[in-house]
Chain A
């Protein structure tokens, strides 16, 4: 089936993300050259705590996405594979390991400390161990137990995570001669909370028809939430974004001119094939909800700083019980008036992909949402079959048209 290409609009604020990313990396490099510690963190590490300690966070996952999107990831992947890392391992991890093994000649400055909290996957532990073995840099591995029920955010599970945060502060103070200032943390938390509040408000506006903010926007706009949480720059970005989205709603202007299908996207975006989102939009389908976009936003309570941070890193999307995750899907399918669901079965993210078939089946049975599930890799372009995936998308759109 062929449909005419539609004009789809990316927000002006989204277009500024590239510059924001470059400014951020240049700030980290400046800080490093001035002797400030740089931490390599997994993306659900509480960066607020690091900013309060004057440690600069860099996320190799973000670097992997960036390398993939800009088309220069394969050299790093091949270097890691040449050194023995299997190509079945997470492509983000292979990218940063390849970067390290090839001499770190790029925008990520070498780390002074490696920090991970095992919330989104167990691979984090193995990946950070591997970086530690190659670099000899100090390593902090934090445990964030799987949240089986909401009570875990107030019982011994919470207590365990809070105490590990205290250990991290102590380690940073001892190793870098820093002094932790609780008042500074409170200020950082207020900024982080503000950014999350603004982003949540923006995401809610996607409930409008036509949807004012699409997948290409949300995929880029999350960047400040990942490594800039707690900064003025992040708050300014989300203020500007919200203003622009509200403007679109006032003008009844959507991502695409003739919105036919409103879709849910489950997974990490495919950075090397970002145009796939546009392929959906050309067929009148717009992404209006993704669990990924919500993953880093969390309302923080500055009156309970460490407890609040602990709850945030415990509650990230993949670290809560499957029943809670399914309930969230059902609620959002209703709120965002979703017509169909797209599940990206990501070879690199086994922890995310493992339950997708079961989840999709349950959603289909409970609320009769048709779904498409396809396999590829988020960052490794060698594990991607464009023609096959586009055929599947075409067939899915036909199903949506008939339902």
Chain B
């Protein structure tokens, strides 16, 4: 199965679609992470667009020791400011929090900070987060002069659930011990969902057939990390004989794993789904995240867990100690690869990945 060239091209240069939106009069909201409910933007008639670090260097406005991903994402948001109608930043980790501060001083566009509670397993946090989503809805209504009614939210929830179902069905083709979908293809499809109009995406993905797909590697791996937009990292694993059967990435399963309940109270349903979804490494309790990784390891029958840790990404770097400790009890080998700029570190990353795959496969 060949991934359509439109999706391939989009993943190489996602900002190209921003010009298309501008030319057709579509208002675009740049958002930073998968804790931001796209449904609310869609119900306001706006196009959500996940901001990335693709084709950008870290911003000169931040110190050298700040997460290079957050810094380069900031750089892209500022650089393409004219193509956006507004921005939404989720407060998940320190760099994203401060990205909001800096962006506030650098953009004249409407900007919203969604305060995501870090103690997710607390009824009080759910109540607070619901109020944050109401504030977000009001922000969209006031700044874009629209009225977001329940019907609009029902429709957008249904549309996004359909996208998530499609992504999950592709993902599950690799469950148990199956080798169906190469990770590089799967990642491209997930990323496209964050940039394309959902209705268009759903039609395109329904037409994909992975029956005759070929995979390169056969050592089954789980990849742990935050957001990975660099296809080169995935390629290194595949070319080294690895098969990424599962992941817990923000640009992977964490984006689509849970659906929003289609209930009478859309805001409550959204707050429940987005706060209690598969957790990001920045969240608490850690045990929930460890349980999720354990589940993935069993469900996808992986032989090893590879952590791609962006340099200075505190949440991943703390977690990796505990993930290793947990998995070693089940004799699942792990490796942490810290990296800053894959393009400049290919040789080092490749030799470590090869060594890991060899030890796991052997």
Contacts and interface: CB of A to CB of B under 8 A. Distances in A.
Given A84-B336, A350-B63, 11 more contacts: A84-B324, A85-B318, A118-B118, A122-B315, A145-B91, A156-B128, A163-B124, A353-B65, A354-B63, A358-B102, A362-B105
Contacts of B283: 125
B21 interface: no
Contacts of A139: 285
A357 B63 contact: yes
B118 A160 contact: no
Contacts of A220: none
B311 A88 contact: yes
Contacts of B336: 84
A386 interface: no
A121 B314 CA distance: 11
Interface stretch (B93-101, B202-210, B223-231, B258-266): B93-101
B103 to A, nearest CB: 10
A136 B309 CA distance: 26
A143 B105 contact: no
10 nearest A-B residue pairs (beta carbon): A354-B98, A126-B318, A322-B101, A84-B321, A351-B94, A145-B115, A141-B119, A129-B286, A160-B128, A86-B317
Contacts of A130: 318, 321-322
Interface in A291-347: 321-323, 345, 347
B92 interface: yes
B104 A322 contact: yes
A148 interface: yes
Given A126-B314, A126-B319, A129-B285, A345 B63 contact: yes
A357 B105 CA distance: 12
A351 B98 contact: yes
Contacts of B161: none
Contacts of A83: 321
A355 B98 contact: yes
A160 B105 contact: no
Contacts of A8: none
B166 interface: no
B290 to A, nearest CB: 9
A123 interface: yes
Given A123-B94, A375-B63, A358 B124 contact: no
B61 interface: yes
B101 A354 contact: yes
6 contacts: A88-B312, A122-B314, A148-B113, A350-B63, A354-B101, A375-B64
Nearest to A164: B124
B91 to A, nearest CB: 6
B95 A160 contact: no
B324 A122 contact: no
Interface in A129-160: 129-130, 132-133, 139, 141-143, 145-146, 148, 156-157, 160
A357 B60 CA distance: 9
Q: Which of B106, B122, B320 has the most CB of A within 10 A?
A: B122
A146 B98 contact: no
Given A143-B128, A148-B113, A125 B63 contact: no
B127 interface: yes
A356 interface: yes
Interface string B104-143: 1110000001010111001011011001000000000000
B84 to A, nearest CB: 20
Interface string B304-334: 0000010110110111111011000000000
Contact of B312 (A122, A146, A350): A350
A403 to B, nearest CB: 25
Contacts of A129: 284-286, 318, 322
B63 A353 contact: yes
A164 B118 CA distance: 13
A156 B131 contact: yes
A44 interface: no
A88 B285 contact: no
A125 B93 CA distance: 10
Interface in A92-142: 118, 121-123, 125-127, 129-130, 132-133, 139, 141-142
A169 B285 CA distance: 20
Contacts of A354: 62-63, 66, 94-95, 98, 101-102
